[in-house]
Amino acid sequence: MSANGRGAVGGGAGLVWRRQSVLWWIFIVNFILAALGTMGYASKVGAVLNHSLEAQRLVTGKDVAVIGSLAMLPSNPYNSGSGTILGVVVFFIFMLFVEGGLLTLYRDDRRLTKGEFFEASGRFFWRFLRLMLYSLAPFVPVFMIVSGVSKWSSSLTSDAGHPVAGFWVMLIGLVVVLFLLTAIRLWFDMAQVHAVAEDEHAMHRAWRRGFKLTFGNFGSLYWMYLRISLAAWIVFAVVFWVWVKLVAPPSVGVSFVLSQLVLLWWLGTRLWQRSSETLWYQRHAELAAAPAVPAPYVPAPVAMAPGTEAMPEPPAV
């Protein structure tokens, strides 16, 4: 097979489906952490809205103004976000931990026991942590670009009095920054895939190898990554439209189910990216290791002495 993203995307989807148990475990862990993180919000928001007529505007409609007005209260319920932040940090560390087991599962495409999965996760955790520290370096110029674009846009909007030009500068800058962030994320992903495939211990070598793989094959890899990301955003947009247009505000259960389906789809597309990257790497490695096919031997023509003629071909029988 070719080492482009055409077959890897379809094969990656099948790989996620066959090994979907890890997706459900990640979803359950995320659900538990989210439930624990929102308890502080629920209690503080309830203490305010349970004794306010403004709550009716949220029951009968999706009023963004009411949600924003909560931040203006002295007892701002959004200040109780420490539990949510802690949950995000724990989930990030959890995902970094299981990446090694996840990529091993996709590399081997076989059922791993819990011991094998967590053994692979633990073996690569500290390596991926070092790799993450290496991968922070490319974000420095990106943050400098963000700062420069923001200042330029603000100067056009306020000082020069060109709000339209300032808007376009900010929009184009945002597109460029998103493109760069996606490229850096893909670079980090391919470095992880290489580290697992080759059992690499030196993360600086994996980081450099990931750079060569990513930017040496950027067209196929980026298009593969982008298609899966677009699938995630399209489903999100459709479900959001259904929630706004068709779901009544009092239907809390329906809203909850829709939100969890979107979350499950987003987690699934992320695993879809990882499985597709693994398949792409394996096919790329197979092509690189394949022996070159020698060209067919063609005998050189015999040189004739001057003044001699070539012997005629014998007549066909």
d(CA 183, CA 186): 5
Residue 86 banded pLDDT, cuts 50, 70, 90: confident
Q: Maximum distance among all alpha carbons in the chain?
A: 116
Q: Which residue intervals of the chain are DSSP H helices?
A: 5-18, 21-37, 39-49, 55-60, 64-69, 82-108, 114-135, 139-154, 163-198, 203-216, 218-246, 252-289
Give the 3-state secondary structure of 182-201: HHHHHHHHHHHHHHHHHCCC
Give the 3-state secondary structure of 99-157: HHHHHHHHHHCCCCCHHHHHHHHHHHHHHHHHHHHHHCCCHHHHHHHHHHHHHHHHHHH
> Which of 124, 125, 97, 129 shows the shortest CA–CA distance to 22?
97
Which of 58-62, 161-165, 186-190, 197-201 shows the lowest per-residue confidence on average (mean pLDDT)?
58-62
- pLDDT of amino acid 41: 67
What are the backbone angles phi and psi of residue 250, rounded to the nearest 5°?
-70, -10
Tell me which H or E stretch contains 52: none
- pLDDT of amino acid 313: 55
Q: Which tens digit of pLDDT belongs to each residue from 182-210?
A: 999 999 999 999 999 999 999 999 999 99
CB atoms within 10 A of CB 62: 14
Mean of pLDDT values over 105-127: 93
d(CA 280, CA 288): 12
- pLDDT of amino acid 178: 92
Place of tokens 């080759």: 198
- pLDDT of amino acid 264: 95
Phi-psi sector, 14: left (phi>0), alpha (psi -120 to 50), beta: alpha
- Listed by start position, the domains of the chain span 6-37+81-137+218-287
Mean of pLDDT values over 130-156: 87
Place of tokens 């955790």: 125
Q: Determine contact, residues 117/101, Cβ cutoff 8 Å.
A: yes
Instruction: Give the end-to-end CA distance of the chain in Å, rounded to a whole number.
Output: 47
Which of 3-12, 13-22, 290-299 shows the lowest per-residue confidence on average (mean pLDDT)?
290-299
- pLDDT of amino acid 1: 39
Between 249 and 297, name the one with better pLDDT: 249
Place of tokens 């339209």: 164
CB atoms within 10 A of CB 92: 11
Q: Determine contact, residues 84/116, Cβ cutoff 8 Å.
A: no
| pLDDT above 70: residue 282 | yes
**230, HSE (Cβ side, Cα atoms, 13 Å):** 7
3-state secondary structure of 222: helix
Residue 31 banded pLDDT, cuts 50, 70, 90: very high
Task: Say whether pTM exceeds 0.85.
Answer: no
- pLDDT of amino acid 62: 58
d(CA 184, CA 80): 33
Which of 179-193, 239-253, 284-298 shows the lowest per-residue confidence on average (mean pLDDT)?
284-298
- pLDDT of amino acid 291: 64
